[in-house]
Amino acid sequence: MSIPPISELSDRARDVFRAVVEGYLETGQPVGSRTLASAGAFQLSPASIRTVMHDLESLGLLVAPHTSAGRLPTDIGLRLFVDGMMRVAEPSAEERAAIEERAVRAGPVEEALAATTAALSGLSACAGLVLVPKAELVLRSISFVPLSPERALAVIVGDDGQVENRVVDLAPGTAPSVLVEAGNYMSATLSGLTLAEARARLERQLAADRAALDAAAAALVEQGIAVWSEDGDRRPVLIVRGQGRLIDAAAVEDLERVRDLLDDLEGKQEIATLLDSARTGDSTRIFIGAENKLFALSGSSVIARPFRGIDGRVVGVVGVIGPTRLNYARVVPMVDFTAATLSRLIG
């Protein structure tokens, strides 16, 4: 069913629709005509309000979960509200400070991203998400430092000065000269390449001219690049924080939906693919319920926005996931602010 234009709704219908949606987002419960009439916001009887609700239901904007139980917005209704009627509330000074404090903590970038995402989760009462690109380290030099007769430390220095290291096993009787030979060969051969490019070049060169290296040095070269490649392939691209916040008082009445949502989060690749689709454009993307087949069962919503590096290119996506009844007016600008904060962090 297509979303009807707001212009097709009368002023009365728009007011009743807004009241139902805002009441539902606040309580998580259906909103009845008597509740709206007793609130004094309308000069209408409960019967008149029910008539308007029925008209909104026929348009596909509201639904009655049970007989005489009030109305809930449908996913289509929520989309109409979010796109055309929502009045956003900017984050408070305290909320902004809480997000910025996590972002400026010293340590690896991934830890700062995770801490910032945890702060966003706490403030939004949703699970926080951040999609981090796999690091494309460009190699400057590689060396092997002996630790013991059986182990060595492989040290890689990137073009940006970043230094990382991993422990590799040595064949019995490996001489210190072998470590030097392997390091010199890799530095001369792989400097200026990314890890993926380095692996491909090494495989070609070792296959074509294995005699250029001592057998022990060739084995060490292959082991070194294998360790680094495996680490890069396993590096997480999606950080999730605050899953426990998805289980609130309202969720207790709908544990099956919560279970489906937590299952969605366990399938991180699908969530990562969804977030990756938010990389294009400059605005915040909002995915509501069954609009996305991934959330057809769990009835969840995702709010996501890309953040950029110093060169203006998108380097990741940050957002939240929660039930469709989450407070969009409050959470959307909070996600926007978090994305801006991460852009300053990365830049």
**Taking the complete model, does pTM exceed 0.95, yes or no?**
no
Place of tokens 């699970």: 127
Name which of 58-62, 122-126, 257-261, 269-273 the model is least confident about: 257-261
pLDDT grade for 297, boundaries at 50, 70 and 90: low
In this model, does residue 72 exceed pLDDT 90? yes
- Phi and psi (nearest 5°) for 235? -60, 125
Q: Which of 121, 103, 114 is nearest to 303 (CA)?
A: 121
- Phi and psi (nearest 5°) for 143? -145, 160
For residues 294 and 72, which has the higher predicted lDDT (pLDDT)? Answer: 72
Enter the tokens of residue 179. Answer: 């470590």
pLDDT grade for 302, boundaries at 50, 70 and 90: very high
DSSP 133: P
In this model, does residue 261 exceed pLDDT 50? yes
Give the integer Cα–Cα distance in Å for 243 and 128.
8
For residues 281 and 179, which has the higher predicted lDDT (pLDDT)? Answer: 179
Average predicted confidence (pLDDT) for the chain: 83
Mean per-residue pLDDT, 322-335: 91
Q: Which of 301, 286, 253, 243 is nearest to 27 (CA)?
A: 253
Given this model, what pLDDT does residue 249 score?
A: 54
Given this model, what pLDDT does residue 236 score?
A: 47
In this model, does residue 309 exceed pLDDT 80? no
Sign of the CA dihedral with 88 first, then 93, 95, and 99 last: positive
Q: What is the pLDDT of residues 195-246, one digit of tens each?
A: 778 878 877 877 776 666 777 787 888 777 776 655 544 444 688 888 877 7
329, with CB counted inside 10 A (0-12, 13-18, 19+), is: middle
Q: Which amino acid is at 33?
A: S
